């Protein structure tokens, strides 16, 4: 049985530490009834320069973020898409991502900073891939997309990674239950 309702989330950040680094880009799609019904994508101004290694990895440059809103202005929209505002009649949906704990921790911290609640069930395509493909040497998003022949045009850009993670999940879903 295919899972029908969830939100796929991916972030790009200035680094790996939720305490020291900031969100640069958010990408998310809402899947309901097995179909993408909504999406959200935005740059986020981190309030500091983008580290050179992050620009090399993502292609995100300081000039791209100059007019972007800060996280406090966009976190509500992100949580709304995630269905985390039940007072507005939203169904609370589980999150899906590749190494989702990373993205979850940054969104959770941003929600806490904005005095908003954020508690989600989360599914991780990395963990699913470890079970489904134990002999595969690498289970990075890039390696898994290559294995399943999922096109990967703009690696480390939030919305591209979201769509690739969704396609990967649909491939993995046939081989293991979440």
Active site residues: 156
Is the sign of the CA dihedral 16, 109, 158, 148 positive or negative?
positive
**What radius of gyration, in Å, describes the C-alpha atoms of the chain?**
16
From residue 64, alpha-carbon distances to 11, 68, 78 in Å are 16, 8, 20
Q: Give the N- to C-terminal CA distance of the chain in Å, as an integer.
A: 10
Q: Closest Cα partner for 74 from 39, 31, 30, 40?
A: 40
């Amino acid at each position: 049985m295919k899972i029908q309702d969830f939100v796929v989330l991916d972030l790009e950040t200035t680094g790996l530490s939720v305490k020291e680094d900031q969100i640069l880009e958010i990408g998310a799609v809402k899947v309901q009834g097995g179909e993408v019904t909504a999406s959200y994508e935005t740059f986020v101004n981190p309030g500091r320069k983008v580290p050179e290694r992050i620009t090399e990895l993502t292609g995100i440059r300081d000039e791209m973020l100059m007019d972007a809103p800060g996280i406090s202005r966009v976190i509500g929209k992100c949580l709304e898409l995630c269905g985390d505002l039940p007072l507005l009649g939203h169904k609370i949906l589980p999150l899906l991502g590749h190494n989702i704990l990373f993205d979850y921790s940054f969104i959770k911290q941003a929600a806490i900073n904005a005095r908003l609640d954020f508690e989600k069930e989360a599914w991780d395509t990395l963990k699913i891939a470890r079970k489904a493909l134990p002999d595969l040497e690498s289970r990075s998003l890039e390696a898994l997309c290559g294995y399943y022949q999922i096109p990967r045009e703009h690696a480390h850009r939030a919305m591209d990674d979201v769509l690739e993670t969704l396609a990967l999940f649909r491939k993995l879903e046939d081989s293991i239950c979440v």
